[in-house]
Amino acid sequence: MHSEASGGCAARRGQGYTASRMVARRLAPPLDTDTVTLRVDGDEVRAVRGEPIAMSLFAAGRLVLGRSVKYHRPRGAVCFSGRCDGCLLRVDGQPSVRTCREPAVDGRTLETQNVLGSAELDLLAATDWFFPGGMDHHRMFTWAKPVNQAMQLVARHVAGIGTLPETAVPVAAVEDVRVDVLVIGAGASGLSAATGCAERGLSVLCVDEEREPGGWLRFDPAARGGSSPRADELAAAALRSGVDLRCDRAVAGLFDEPRGERIALVDGRGALLRVRARAWVIAQGRTEGASAFEGSDLPGVIGAEAAARLLAHGILPGERVVIAGDLATRSAELDALASALKDAGADVTGPVGLGALVRADGRTSVTSVTLQRDGASTKHPSDLLVLGTRTGAAYELASQAGVRAEYRDGVFELAPRAQGGSVWVVGGAADARSFEEAIGQGERAALEILDALTDEPVAELEDGTEGSR
């Protein structure tokens, strides 16, 4: 463990991205045949073909990807799973693209949004100093009409994220899909539920926002390099049983139509899927949340799951790492992450409890983390702070389908299934604590779904699994 700060930040004082900085690095050099070049604000950045762009940039030491909407504070990726605001860039002319969900392809053009200057040195950051406590939107500049109007003009230039594309985007195609069961999430529980239903003759569509099925099995620090025989087996079983398994498809929302029918809109590459199903399985896992301390929003503060994702992609996210988290619920997981980071060559402090975390410092990304332990405050030179907060269920889509989300121990969890409903929540979202438990929940849901659907006298059960209405 570190004991005292000793001016270890000198190597990181450069203002541009050409400055030498050892922050993140690749664990092995990519093969030439796998290497592609991205263009970022005029710079060329080497990336591995197909990896998430946000990860390519992180591995290249580009932690600061943009600025926040009001105060122009530096922003970088936090979750690497499409659930934060940190990795938004203009990609090939499209604004506010989550680059953690976009694959690196040779020649893609990335531009920083919402800055006057660069992501690293944004002149609009003056607003951060001008409003030290924050802006009081309820009263600010509202006392005289001309002042208010003038300020609105200024605010429109200073605030916001991205500007519209220069050319109109062609309207996408809609594919209508009608199935017995839609499974949202192709992790351990979702795949088990999907296979269980398909083996019993039900038509099943299973979608996942990741590019490969397997969910957390692929990011578990124990599964090195993102490969997981178990994930492969579960996915192969699903395909064998006839599941229509589609990855890189995010569900945008569940809607109850006026006629009592529910539809899911699924966002695919260049197309929209409109899915009608008789049973809905939600297996979206859990979400890490933010924590409140000074510097919590600095680039270089990332989630524990994000750190595990980066490792799975062969990227060591930091050289000097502090891990802080909710030790009551995540101790074993954070210990495993700490070991994996150490094995990969990082110098790791922690895991410590979130209560020990005082602040993170740095001009545009983390250079030190201050911890308070045994009554003494210690500043640790660091380039990465990993936060393992207590996780809560990914409740959003389940809520849209009528499942109640309730506050439990500082997070939101989903209520147990209501009798007679058509929605099943399984896996991490149902608080499964292990892959075995998740698989068991999926298998049980499949039996219940079969029971529920075969009780219904539906004439059009064999009404085809795909195609237009």
Partner 1 sequence: MSGKIVVCRCEDVTLHELDEAIAAGHRDLESVKRFTGFGTGFCQGKQCVALCARLLAERGGELPTSPITPRPPFHPIELAKLAALLDDDDEAGGSAP
Contacts to partner 1 from residues 354-383, by CB under 8 A: 363
Q: Is 400 helix (H, G, I), strand (E, B) or coil?
A: helix
The one among 410, 416, 421, 467 contacting partner 1 by CB under 8 A: 410
SS3 string of 360-380?
A: EECCCCCCEEEEEECCEEEEE
For residues 28 and 171, which CB has a smaller minimum distance to partner 1 in the complex?
171
**Per-residue binding letters, 171-190, with partner 1 (x by CB under 8 A):** xxxx----------------
Stretch that binds partner 1, among 57-65, 190-198, 323-331, 389-397 (CB under 8 A): 389-397
Q: What is the DSSP code string of 321-374?
A: EEEEE-HHHHHHHHHHHHHHHHHTT-EEEEEEEGGGEEEEE-SSS-SEEEEEET
Contact region with partner 1 (CB under 8 A), list: 2-10, 52-60, 82-90, 235-243: 82-90
Of 42-71, binders to partner 1 (CB under 8 A) are 68-71
Query: Could you tell me how far CA 82 lies from the centroid of its own chain?
Result: 4
Please report how close the Cβ of residue 244 comes to partner 1 at its closest, in angstroms: 20
Position 139 contacts partner 1 (CB under 8 A): no
Q: Under the criterion CB under 8 A, does residue 229 sit at the interface with partner 1? A: no
Rounded to the nearest 5 degrees, what angle is found at the Cα of 144, between the Cα atoms of 143 and 148?
A: 95
Nearer to partner 1, 221 or 295 (CB): 295
**In the set 121, 247, 250, 358, which binds partner 1 (CB under 8 A)?**
250
Listing DSSP states for 167-178 in one string gives SPPPPPEEEEEE
Tell me which amino acid residue 442 is. Answer: G
Closest to 5 measured CA to CA, from 467, 392, 382, 436:
382
Q: β-strands 376-381, 368-373: how paired?
A: antiparallel
Q: Residue 265 forms beta bridges with which residues? A: 253, 274
CB of 272 to partner 1, least distance (A): 4
Residues numbered 190-219 forming contacts with partner 1, rule: CB under 8 A = 209
| Bridge partner residues of 111 (DSSP) | 90
Would you put residue 197 in left (φ > 0), alpha (ψ -120 to 50) or beta?
A: alpha
Cβ-based nearer residue to partner 1, 137 or 240: 137
d(CA 26, CA 19) in angstroms, rounded, equals 18
Contact criterion met (CB below 8 Å) for 49 and 82: no
Pick from 295, 308, 311: nearest CA to 367: 295
Residue 48 or 89: the one with the smaller Cβ distance to partner 1 is 89
**Residue 463 Cβ vs partner 1, minimum distance, rounded to whole Å:** 19
Judged by CB under 8 A, the chain residues 284 through 323 that form the site for partner 1 are 287, 289-298
What does the per-residue mask of binding to partner 1 show for 85-124, with x meaning CB under 8 A?
xx-x-----x-x-x--------------------------
Q: Which two tokens stand for residue 307?
A: 């750190």
Contact call for residue 170 and partner 1 (CB under 8 A): yes
Considering only the stretches 9-17, 144-152, 400-408, 449-457, report the one whose residues sit in contact with partner 1 under the rule CB under 8 A: 400-408
| Contact map string, positions 20 to 39, toward partner 1, x by CB under 8 A | --------------------
427 to 446: interface string for partner 1, x by CB under 8 A: --------------------
Q: Measured from the CB of residue 108, what is the shortest distance to partner 1 in angstroms?
A: 17
